[in-house]
Chains A and B, each alone.
Chain A
Amino acid sequence: MSGHAAPLLLLNDEQKMLSKTAHEFVRERAPLGRLRTFRNDKDEIGFSRELWNEMAELGWLGLQIPEEYDGLGLGFFDLCVVLEESGRELMPEPFVSTLLLGAQALLLGGTEAQKNGLLPGVAAGETLVSVAYEERASRGDFHCIETVGRASRGGFEITGEKVQVLDGHLADAIIVSAATDGGAQTLFLVDPEAKGVTITRQFRIDGQTAAIVRFEGVSVEPSAVVGKLGGGAALMQSVLDRAGVGLAAQMLGASEQAFADTLEYLKEREQFGAPIGSFQALQHRAVALYTEIALLRSVVLAAARVIDDKPEDIPRLASLAKAFASETFLRVAQEAIQMHGGIGVTDEHDIGFYIKRAQATYMTFGEPSQHRRRWAELHGY
């Protein structure tokens, strides 16, 4: 805030209604136990296309997409209202790949043709867009890549390997980061069907579907550049800031739900002739979690708000939200298991799924110490 008035941190009546509708939808239609089924069945898709289409019909996928591309033209804040609810049941549907990475990259850097070609399909739930930016050697720093995009025959030829590309095996379009002449990064829009692209499905602990995407001399036209030639790093940073805030909203929802389930357990589980929630050792830890989640809610709302209203504050608050969400969600997930005791470490119980998602999201879009370093830089130390 640094001496400025705080951003508006409350939901308006429409957003409250949206939150309530999404809450009920997620609870009734998308229970967390689906993750177990998808995993055990080695489901080819890994999520429910039907649910994704239903959410498109409800308008949720196009909330933030401008009306000219068949969206509702609302804000990122509105999108975060839905994301928070989707996080409660750890929905594996392609929110992160398509709405938080793909759509943001297109909205921030896409040409008219690229936006016209893809965004209406995103809003309609028909098109999935992945962003392939992470490599084995990146270690959380998207600047560190070995993939190259050499100038060739009036266009570019892309060679390299990206890992854990979210929904890469299902994407209708892939945006890939590559080092172009002079070493600067450029983002390219690639057709997954193009010659030289190989896609291998990966399975992660958290049930988010992902793939290894290999590019072997894949040819693209100059019109495939997303953003400016050589401007990929700046664009990628802006995309990751938004994606980090959206993910933090999901992590907030997940923390809330894991905590709510744990609180319920504390009230009903009896040992020594009393509910374990009557023991002060557990009460104080529960309050500590409650407090952290209250703080997390404030930073997520603030970061979502400035994305719509005050772009100059995005880097600070995006790093704050992602760092805070990472620490909080992981701690809540750890404590949730501990307070459930033995049943908490069984695969049969749902509570154990939260720690897997917590670890995955902790490592996604920069882990906390990276964000703290950036925060320090932004504050001049």
Chain B
Amino acid sequence: MSELDTFREEARAWIRENAPKSLWGTTGSGPFEGYWGGSKSTESDPDLLKWRDLGIEKGWIAPSWPKEYGGGGLTRAHEQIIHEELKAIGVPRPIAGQGLAMFGPVLLKYGNDAQRAEHLPKIASGELRWCQGYSEPNAGSDLANLQLKAQRDGDDFVLNGQKVWTSHADLSDWIYCLTRTDPNAPKKQMGISVILVDLNTPGITVRRIDLISGYSPFCETFFDNVRVPAKNLVGELNEGWTIAKAILEHERSSIGRSIARQPGSAERDVVARSRKHLGVEEGPIPDPLLRDEVASLGMREEAFHLTLARVEQGAESGTPGPEGSISKIVGSELKQKRFELGMKVAGIQGLGWEGPGFDEDDLQYTRDWLRSRASTIEGGSSEIQKNIVSKRVLGLPEGKK
């Protein structure tokens, strides 16, 4: 038996022995599911907190980060095994979120020793929660058009401007920001720098944005003469665009994967809703056209999971490439298709916003359907992903957009 096989057996045994039973089968164990940590967390589920503590003790919050930064010192292959074993029984990662999935790996690569030592251990312990400051009102798909000004003043940068779609900024402690440090650069991709900002700094205002679903994971974050120590610059001044793209690749592949959940879960979900709303407990779904659409969804879902597995099996490094774009394109469309079908089978019972005459699960489903419309927009719209694949994978010439 290889060392990895032995490790898998140990990991499986440990997880099954220690993961609180109430958490089994609750998630797809993706990078954004579960307890996100941070000083503002109001999480009160004792099992989730116990699981967090066990994970920290075991060193499995960030299994592949170096031990000196609070990681487990394992290889990416080991980390993959841990995540697969969690997924096999639907238990969340002990801590999830952007700090672990996106910011940490990038700081490991582009940050300096002092920055790593300052920030990574607090992410790996769940002490601090991070969010991302990327988009602005005039920098959406055209992200490089960002204008949040960071001006050097003595030992500080002074930030002025606005970020938007700063997910969970209201619950986070720190934000990693793309800023404009050289407004006169010859290309807009030049003159951008990555700066780390403590959200408690005076001059920052965070406001929540309501979505069509009625929920609000997103915020706008305003910066009014916010002073940030110059040591919080990551990488070289004016060369932040490379880092920004690396973070985006992590984001895309993470979003694709987090949509994936368990193989077959979207199909089972629509079948269950069909049974409920059509009143057929077993046997074939009586509407052959609907059944065909559900099977189409199921087949596509399986093809998507097999493709994620194929990429995973072939991956030799921890850095996602353009395939992150492909998984995001397909994954987000699959998610929408699932909710479209789920809404279709519910008929008018899917039209409830709140109140009497609607089942709780249907009300929730309708909100989730509305939320799913963002999946082809957030993290770079499907159109932007296609531009990236067109240029970087297919090698098609750039033209007028």
Nearest CB on B from A377, distance (A): 7
Asked if residues B399 and A280 are in contact (CB atoms below 8 Å), the reply is yes
A-B contacts, CB under 8 A, total: 137
Q: B342-366: contact bitstring with A at CB < 8 Å (1 yes, 0 no)?
A: 0000000000000000000000000
Q: Does A222 contact B (CB under 8 A)?
A: no
Alpha-carbon distance A290/B267, docked complex (angstroms): 24
Q: Does A299 contact B (CB under 8 A)?
A: yes
The residue in A279, A283, A296 that gathers the most chain B C-beta atoms within 10 A of its C-beta is A283
CB < 8 Å neighbour of B306 from A3, A9, A263, A375: A9
Residues of B within 8 A of A287 (CB): 329, 386, 389-390, 393-394
Asked if residues B299 and A369 are in contact (CB atoms below 8 Å), the reply is no
Nearest CB on B from A261, distance (A): 13
Q: A356-369: contact bitstring with B at CB < 8 Å (1 yes, 0 no)?
A: 00000000000001
Given A9-B309, A274-B399, A286-B396, answer yes or no on A381-B284 (Cβ-Cβ < 8 Å). Answer: yes
Given A263-B394, A267-B396, A372-B292, answer yes or no on A1-B302 (Cβ-Cβ < 8 Å). Answer: yes
Asked if residues A375 and B298 are in contact (CB atoms below 8 Å), the reply is yes
Asked if residues B393 and A324 are in contact (CB atoms below 8 Å), the reply is no
Alpha-carbon distance A1/B291, docked complex (angstroms): 20
Asked if residues A10 and B310 are in contact (CB atoms below 8 Å), the reply is yes
Residues of B within 8 A of A267 (CB): 395-397
Q: Does B185 contact A (CB under 8 A)?
A: no
Q: Does A12 contact B (CB under 8 A)?
A: no
Nearest CB on A from B307, distance (A): 4
Q: Does B274 contact A (CB under 8 A)?
A: yes
CB < 8 Å neighbour of A290 from B304, B389, B397, B401: B389
Residues of B within 8 A of A323 (CB): 299
A285 to chain B: closest residue by CB: B386
Alpha-carbon distance A291/B332, docked complex (angstroms): 13
Asked if residues A320 and B302 are in contact (CB atoms below 8 Å), the reply is yes
A-side interface residues, number (CB < 8 Å): 44
Q: Does A346 contact B (CB under 8 A)?
A: no
Q: B376-401: contact bitstring with A at CB < 8 Å (1 yes, 0 no)?
A: 00000001001101100111111111
B282 to chain A: closest residue by CB: A380
B296 to chain A: closest residue by CB: A372
Alpha-carbon distance A283/B390, docked complex (angstroms): 6
The residue in A10, A287, A294 that gathers the most chain B C-beta atoms within 10 A of its C-beta is A287
Alpha-carbon distance A275/B326, docked complex (angstroms): 24
Asked if residues B387 and A10 are in contact (CB atoms below 8 Å), the reply is no
Q: B265-297: contact bitstring with A at CB < 8 Å (1 yes, 0 no)?
A: 001000100100000001111001001101110
Asked if residues B393 and A295 are in contact (CB atoms below 8 Å), the reply is no
Given A283-B396, A294-B326, answer yes or no on A376-B285 (Cβ-Cβ < 8 Å). Answer: yes
Q: A96-121: contact bitstring with B at CB < 8 Å (1 yes, 0 no)?
A: 00000000000000000000000000
Residues of A within 8 A of B397 (CB): 267, 274-275, 277-278
Alpha-carbon distance A132/B45, docked complex (angstroms): 65
Asked if residues B306 and A1 are in contact (CB atoms below 8 Å), the reply is yes
Asked if residues B295 and A373 are in contact (CB atoms below 8 Å), the reply is yes
Asked if residues B263 and A290 are in contact (CB atoms below 8 Å), the reply is no
Interface residues of A in 8-32 (CB under 8 A from B): 8-10
Residues of B within 8 A of A1 (CB): 263-264, 302, 305-306, 309
Residues of A within 8 A of B305 (CB): 1, 6
Asked if residues B386 and A324 are in contact (CB atoms below 8 Å), the reply is no
Alpha-carbon distance A324/B296, docked complex (angstroms): 9
Asked if residues A381 and B294 are in contact (CB atoms below 8 Å), the reply is yes
CB < 8 Å neighbour of A278 from B285, B292, B294, B398: B398
B303 to chain A: closest residue by CB: A295
Q: A228-268: contact bitstring with B at CB < 8 Å (1 yes, 0 no)?
A: 00000000000000000000000000000000000100110
Alpha-carbon distance A284/B314, docked complex (angstroms): 26
Residues of B within 8 A of A369 (CB): 292
Alpha-carbon distance A324/B303, docked complex (angstroms): 9
Alpha-carbon distance A372/B88, docked complex (angstroms): 27
Nearest CB on A from B294, distance (A): 7
Residues of A within 8 A of B400 (CB): 278, 280
Given A10-B314, A277-B396, answer yes or no on A2-B264 (Cβ-Cβ < 8 Å). Answer: yes
Asked if residues B294 and A376 are in contact (CB atoms below 8 Å), the reply is yes
Binding site for B on A (CB under 8 A): 1-3, 5-6, 8-10, 263, 266-267, 274-275, 277-280, 283-284, 286-288, 290-291, 294-299, 301-302, 320, 323-324, 369, 372-373, 375-377, 379-381
What are 10 A-B contacts defined by CB distance under 8 Å?
A2-B263, A2-B264, A10-B314, A275-B397, A280-B400, A287-B386, A291-B326, A291-B330, A301-B310, A380-B282
Q: A295-B307, A297-B310, A379-B267 are in contact. List 11 more A-B contacts (CB 8 A).
A: A1-B305, A1-B306, A6-B309, A10-B314, A278-B397, A279-B399, A283-B390, A284-B383, A284-B390, A287-B329, A375-B299
